Structure 1
Amino acid sequence: MPEEVLFKTEEELPRTEIAEALRDAADEIESGDVTLLSDVEEQRVAVPERPRFEVELERLTDSETGDQRYELEYEIRWMK
């Protein structure tokens, strides 16, 4: 199935700001209407009553340097 990215933003922020953004997102998800905003775009989506929720923690190692990094992902998905 082809993938189409409708919205993406990435930035380095203090943990407190990330936590605040996640709390705000939780309120929107609970209401069923989510608005994603960046400096250049806006995307709105309705979240169904029972979507699938996935939490994933990965440790990744750079093959050239051996440096390790972690990724903590929260994912909500549903079929349309």
Structure 2
Amino acid sequence: MPEEILFKTEERVPRTEIADALRDAADQIESGDVTLVGDAEERTATVPERPRFEIELERLTDSETGEQRYELEYEIRWSK
């Protein structure tokens, strides 16, 4: 299935700002409509009553440098 990215933003911010953003996202998800706002774009999505929810913590190792990094992902999925 081809992937089409409808919205993406990424930046370094303090943990407190991430926590604030996640609390705001939780309120929007609970209401059913999520509005994503970036520098030059805005996208709204309606989250169904029972979507699939996945939490994943990964440790990744750079094959050249051996440097390790972690990724913590919260993912909500649904089909139309």
- Is this a same-fold pair by TM over 0.5? yes
For 1:60 and 1:46, how far apart are their aligned partners in 2? 32
Are positions 1:50 and 2:50 aligned together? Answer: yes
Aligned residue number for residue 61 of structure 1: 61
Q: TM-score, normalised by structure 2?
A: 0.99
Are positions 1:12 and 2:4 aligned together? Answer: no
For 1:68 and 1:62, how far apart are their aligned partners in 2? 6
Q: One-letter code of the match for 2:22?
A: L
Q: TM-score, normalised by structure 1?
A: 0.99
Runs of 4+ in 1 over 6 A off after TM superposition: none
Per-residue Cα deviation, 1:29-56 (whole angstroms, up to 9, x for no partner): 0000000001110000000000000000
Question: Which ranges in structure 1 are unaligned for 5 or more consecutive residues?
Answer: none
RMSD between aligned residues: 0.3
Aligned residue number for residue 37 of structure 1: 37
Size of the alignment, in residue pairs?
A: 80
Question: Which ranges in structure 2 are unaligned for 5 or more consecutive residues?
Answer: none
Question: Tell me, what secondary structure is at the counterpart of 1:74?
Answer: strand
For 2:29 and 2:72, how far apart are their aligned partners in 1? 19
Q: Percent identity?
A: 81
